[in-house]
Amino acid sequence: MADIPISRRGLLALGGGTAVAAFVAACSPENAAAPRLSSSAPSAAAVPGGAVTFTPAQGTTGFDPLGPVMVTATAGTLAEVTMTNDQGRVIAGIMTPDGLTWKPDTPLGYDRTYQLAATSRDEQGRENQFTSTFSTVTPDNLTAASLVSTGGGALSEGATYGVGIVAVIRFDEPIPDRAAAQRCLSVQTEPAVEGQWSWVDDQNVHYRPREYYPPGTAVTVRADIYGVDVGNGLYGQEDLARSFVIGDSHVSIADDNTKQIEVYDNGQLVRTMPTSMGRGGTETVNGRTIHFWTQRGTYTVLDKANPVIMDSSTYGLPVNSRLGYRQTISYATRISNDGIYLHQLESSIPQQGNTNVSAGCLNLNPDNAQWFYNFSIPGDIVEVRNTGGEPLAQWQNGDWSIPWETWVQGSAL
């Protein structure tokens, strides 16, 4: 196991022990071994050649790999300090200019034993050697975190997203202690934007602002989970950080009363597109009821493809059944996890603007479909109004359909 995690929060700076100690207290397991000075440290007056103390103390086990490690001269100065792990690797460190303190300059690894060998020197040039050994915590298991959208696609460093983008931290193991994990999650925005984490289940926690992000907002999402027990001996495998920016405000309103989609760019109406939405009704296949509504609610753009294969069997309707289909569709912009798209469909052009005939998607003519495809980015808002059936559910991509008062109740803190 490597001593250096792939990503790492700021290292303990010389003279900066206060800030780091505060961090460790805020985001470390309660039962992690606390740093302590050796009670057997030699007396400064009794030992020619100087004296040192070690933090953590000799023989400490289960030490937090983010905890402060240091060698301190209590008499004289430090002439040399060498730190090695149980594989013989030398851990680089930094000595203060006055020769009184030494610290490693990298975080430690899990399940490692470290030896510190220090040489101190007094004013007469006499030297003394001291050693100390300690070991770090051994996790029962590790969990990795990824940053994705509500559609499952990775959120990329430096990318531009729409004003409604929802950040999802997805853990690859169920989290026993959601509060411990959430304390290590953060979202920084410039300008400041009110927002909150909300857990969907034991592996997925979503973050959205109270209102849509202002265009131009800079967003940084962090999961500083390395070294943290998130319950029952499950520790974070490595830290995660991504920064992205918010683009122009793209809000589209699809109204079933008018069968039109109005597209707004930064508040200005830039296009009106006739559409044909879900025809409604249900079909029962093999005991499963399938509906054909375009559910009302606030969606976001998830991704897009040109072309995309649309196959009714993916949601339980056999292709060879009465209402089944398998088609190659051009300029398809996806807005739900169960396959709702805004897409090109020439065969429904006579119905677009007056009659709903689709299985749930929003049909457009070729010119409008291509324009919307090129206009849209993940996180753009699509509001569907006045349709029948059940409202959009969260799992379908309905985070923005949840009232804020309900959303914040999903926080573990």
Residues marked as catalytic: 343, 361
Alpha-carbon gap, residue 54 to 72, rounded angstroms: 7
Taken in order 193, 197, 198, 200, the sign of the CA dihedral is positive
Angstrom distances, CA of residue 2 to CA of 113, 171, 172, 180, 391: 12, 21, 20, 24, 49
Q: Is the dihedral of CA 278, 283, 285, 289 positive or negative?
A: positive
Q: How far from each other are the two terminal CA atoms of the chain, in whole angstroms?
A: 32
Taking the C-alpha atoms of residue 194 and residue 208, their distance in angstroms, rounded to an integer, is 9
How far, in Å, are 168, 187, 378, 405 from residue 196 at the CA level? 12, 9, 20, 11
